[in-house]
Amino acid sequence: MIPTGFPDRAEIARLTARMLLEIEAVHFRPDDPFTLASGLPSPTYIDCRKLISYPRIRSTLMDFLAVTVMRDAGFEAFDNVAGGETAGIPFGALMAERLALPMTYVRKKPKGYGRNARIEGVMTEGQRVLLVEDMTTDGGSKLSFVDAIRETGATCEHTAVLFSYGIFPEITKTLGDHGVTLHALSTWWDVLAEAKASGSFDASTMDGVEVFLNDPRGWQAARMPEAKK
């Protein structure tokens, strides 16, 4: 069923943050930072992949994502939904079901045999494609998926995620320069506010995370090994 009536943007953001905290997808460690895929340190880590194991939560969030995209982009704005390998594939499938559209997925790189394809499923020239992923940091990883979609002759002007870091201002320019608009349900600021309201972490941990969120690049630079030489 295609959802049409849901809470406003602020309440969707709050409830999304609450769900992420409830399933312990949110991790804060300012005193023992995580190492991200980029090699940079971070006191925060989020595991959106856990959401697929919670049926009530994943159903609610996909309803939220569907109505957000329809409100922002249009109710008849897309012909195809593409999930990005790998985390975006289940969410792409669920979103396609919500919007009653064909589903495809995009590989990170050609598989190296057979058709050597990056697009799996049926995507045709002229289709308007919505790229779906679990999350985004600064938006850079989305560009390769968008380019692969466009190489088929389809268009891709929108990407939807459950979670965006919301602390890197360059994301709007990075995606905008590529002709892509981002739609996200929640950010670190929403999670921080809900974590404070619910008492999910102690005050010292929350303070350490907030320092990072206010100046993530500075926080990371001060903790990189080369910065200490």
Domains delineated in the chain:
11-209 (3.40.50.2020)
The predicted structure's pLDDT at residue 220: 92
pLDDT confidence of residue 228: 42
User: Are the C-beta atoms of 16 and 163 separated by less than 8 Å?
Assistant: yes
**Residue-level pLDDT at 223:** 86
pLDDT in tens, the chain (229 residues): 677 678 999 999 999 999 999 999 999 999 999 998 778 899 999 999 999 999 999 999 999 999 999 999 999 999 999 999 999 999 999 999 999 999 999 999 887 776 668 999 999 999 999 999 999 998 888 999 999 999 999 999 999 999 999 999 889 899 999 999 999 999 999 999 999 999 999 999 999 999 999 999 999 999 886 544 3
DSSP assignment of 162-219, as one string? EEE----THHHHHHHTTT-EEEEEE-HHHHHHHHHHHT-S-HHHHHHHHHHHHSHHHH
- Residues in Cβ contact with 217 at an 8 Å cutoff, skipping those fewer than 6 apart: none
Q: What integer pLDDT is reported at residue 181 of this predicted model? A: 97
Query: Any idea what the Cα angle at residue 169 is, between residues 167 and 171, rounded to 5°?
Result: 100
CB 164, CB 135: distance < 8 Å: yes
For 191-205, b/e burial (b = at least 16 CB within 10 A) is: bbebbeeeebbeeeb
Q: Give all strands of the β-sheet with 128-136 in edge-to-edge order.
A: 119-120, 103-106, 80-84, 128-136, 155-164, 181-186
pLDDT of residue 116: 65
Strands 103-106 and 119-120: antiparallel
* pLDDT value at residue 229: 34
Contact 185, 162 (CB under 8 A): yes
